[in-house]
Chain A
Amino acid sequence: MVTMSALHALTAELHSGFLTLAFVCVMIVAAAQVVVRYKNHMPDIFVRWAIVVRGYAEAASYVAAVAGLLGLLLSGYTGMYAWPMDTLLESGVVRNKILFTVYATVMWGAVIFIRTRFGRGLWTCPAMAFVYVTFTFVAYGFIGMAGSLGAHITQGGSVLDPLWSIVGFKVESIVDFGPELAAGIALASAGIFVVSLWLARRYDLFAMKLAPETCQKFFKWDEPRIHEPVAEKR
């Protein structure tokens, strides 16, 4: 009989693999965009590789992020039933892991939202590409933290422990804002959200589409495509 903890191990491997692939692919696309942008200063071979690789990596990152998020949700479900809930919540490490997993889920949801809403055209708009890469980076950081805490629970330690030691993060000390601060953060978040929506409406941003023709006045970033012809040096 397959136990829930075995299924949790399986889904954990699944989401870890997919999200790592998504993270790596996004970083590859970001690097490729920089290479293509500065193609006049790069060896031709680099530029050709960058153009080919970014096309595949961009598509792969999107698919991997979606699959990874599904795996993450599955992993959360199996994790809830793999061990008794009462026992789970008594451990500070477990609570931290659940906390970072939830944050990672929201972050990866945000990454997928950006990519779904703006398509690969987001790479033609440097500001949006920066937001996309930053969110991906932080999302992967959260899932890395959650994975490291999972290793602490199951193995008693993690390969990231030296990093936690450097940044001064103690895995067993519970991350806790406290109800008052948390309520304040929630209210401030609601305020930021409402103001953002108002600005979007005020400047008609909801209908805005990102593409080479609408977002290439300054940086001239190409849209990453598969089988794109090699751009000529200018």
Chain B
Amino acid sequence: METRPAFDAHPSSDALLHFRRNHNNTDKVLRISWGIGRFGPECVCLKKSHLFLALIAASIAVIIASPGISGYEGGVPDSNLDYGCSTNCHTKQSGSAITMDASATDLDIGQSVTVSVGVTGGEASGTPLGVMIVSALTKDGSLPSDAGWTITSDPTGSATNNYHEVGAYAGSVTMSWTLTAPSTAGVYTLYAREIHGNGDTWKNDYSAGIAFIVGTIAPGELTVFITSPSSGSEVAGTISVAATMIPQGDISYAILSVDGNVVDNKGSGPFTWSLDTEQFTDGAHVIKVTAVNSTGAVGVEEIAVTINNAAAGETILSWVWTMAAGSLLIIAFLAMFIVMALMIRRRVMKGGKVE
């Protein structure tokens, strides 16, 4: 190892990197080269083994940093994406809230409908966030067009992609697509997913989806009865919604919706749902169960109920008051009767009336 007074770049084109070490000020000459000894004895050369170690270190660094840079760092352009891409790229459940709404759920064939997806919160503040609508939660064949939908307008208003991305998410965003219903009568479901990066590969699905009844479906082949709650009843708290289908066999799935919004979709019985009415405002609501069997027949039953959680809360409060007041009364009576008994005894003993 030799030192030189000056520090300059080595002229050799073979060198990936070349420094020299100054004798006096300890600048070190460092060279990475495929060759050995080509730069003379003044160089400290990184040999093949050094380069190999450096590559391993770089690989480890990439692996460590991969959650933040895997997927598509910086986002991807608006495009038509299957659900599968986001399954592969984004795996960690986001803390965001995702909602989905539609302008109508009973559609004629070819009718236009607007589907809106809202995202609130999450980890993507100031960074890209994308939302897609899909027709299935499967890796492939999940584009809306695969189910017969036609996107006529995406959130940009000028394109027809099922995936749209905002460059700098500000904590809340709503995106709307306009679609044309499929040309074949049936029940179709659209789902939504939001994905974003910013430190990890976040995702959040609206897996309940929105079910659309498109066209006229042959009536009478499948009948749905909502056995609980009863129509017109007043409900509060968590209630059980139960439905029975006739014929009972071969039910492909049954959808519970409230006021046209899908709450859950069950692929097998028993078709009973636990519904927290506190998620809805007090007042009149419509509970609807739509069932589809293996022949494609659809049965629908809807009932009106009145949610009154405010009254239920007051009832509970009053009940607690009753419990507390009754207990205090018992304790007060206990004290009073004991004192009375002791005073009677005291009076009798002092008076010495008898015997």
Q: Do A and B come from one complex?
A: yes
CB <8 Å contact, B319 and A176: yes
Provide the residues of chain B in CB contact with A195, threshold 8 Å: 336
Query: How far apart are A128's CB and chain B's nearest CB, in angstroms?
Result: 4
CB <8 Å contact, B318 and A189: no
CB <8 Å contact, A125 and B325: no
The B201-252 residues at the A interface (CB cut-off 8 A) are 236-239
The A165-187 residues at the B interface (CB cut-off 8 A) are 174-179, 181-183, 185-186
Provide the residues of chain B in CB contact with A210, threshold 8 Å: 345
Tell me the complex Cα distance, A9–B197, Å. Answer: 53
CB <8 Å contact, B337 and A203: no
Chain B 316-355, CB within 8 Å of chain A: the 1/0 string?
Answer: 1111011111111111111111111111111011001111
CB <8 Å contact, A183 and B321: yes
Give the segment of A20-28, A34-42, A63-71, A98-106 that binds chain B.
A98-106
Q: How many residues of A contact B (CB 8 A)?
A: 53
Give the segment of A47-55, A156-164, A211-219 that binds chain B.
A211-219
Report if A128-B338 is in contact (Cβ < 8 Å); known contacts: A205-B343, A217-B352: yes
Interface of A is mostly: helix
Tell me the complex Cα distance, A125–B340, Å. Answer: 12
CB <8 Å contact, A128 and B352: no
Query: How far apart are A199's CB and chain B's nearest CB, in angstroms?
Result: 5
Interface: A197 (CB within 8 A) = yes
Tell me the complex Cα distance, A158–B345, Å. Answer: 42
Interface of B is mostly: helix
Provide the residues of chain A in CB contact with B341, threshold 8 Å: 125, 127-128, 130-131
CB <8 Å contact, B326 and A127: no
Report if A218-B348 is in contact (Cβ < 8 Å); known contacts: A87-B238, A89-B316, A127-B341: yes
CB <8 Å contact, A214 and B349: yes
Report if A185-B329 is in contact (Cβ < 8 Å); known contacts: A99-B322, A196-B339: yes
Query: How far apart are A138's CB and chain B's nearest CB, in angstroms?
Result: 9
CB <8 Å contact, A189 and B332: yes
Interface residue tally of chain B, by bracket?
35 or more
CB <8 Å contact, A186 and B328: yes
Provide the residues of chain A in CB contact with B318, threshold 8 Å: 176-179, 182
CB <8 Å contact, A193 and B355: no
CB <8 Å contact, B322 and A114: no
Interface: A31 (CB within 8 A) = no
Provide the residues of chain B in CB contact with A114, threshold 8 Å: 334, 338
Report if A186-B236 is in contact (Cβ < 8 Å); known contacts: A113-B334, A135-B334: no
Interface: A6 (CB within 8 A) = no
What residue of chain B has the Cβ atom nearest to residue A181's Cβ? Answer: B325
Interface: B12 (CB within 8 A) = no
Tell me the complex Cα distance, A57–B67, Å. Answer: 75
What residue of chain B has the Cβ atom nearest to residue A118's Cβ? Answer: B338
The B18-67 residues at the A interface (CB cut-off 8 A) are none
Provide the residues of chain A in CB contact with B337, threshold 8 Å: 131, 134-135
Provide the residues of chain A in CB contact with B236, threshold 8 Å: 90
What residue of chain B has the Cβ atom nearest to residue A199's Cβ? Answer: B339
Interface: B93 (CB within 8 A) = no
Q: Which of the residues B238, B322, B330, B342 comes within 8 Å of A175, measured between beta carbons?
A: B322
Interface: B174 (CB within 8 A) = no
Tell me the complex Cα distance, A125–B341, Å. Answer: 8
Report if A127-B334 is in contact (Cβ < 8 Å); known contacts: A90-B236, A205-B339: no
Interface: A208 (CB within 8 A) = yes
When A and B form their complex, which 5 residue pairs have the shortest distance between CB atoms, in order from nearest?
A182-B321, A127-B341, A189-B332, A196-B335, A182-B325
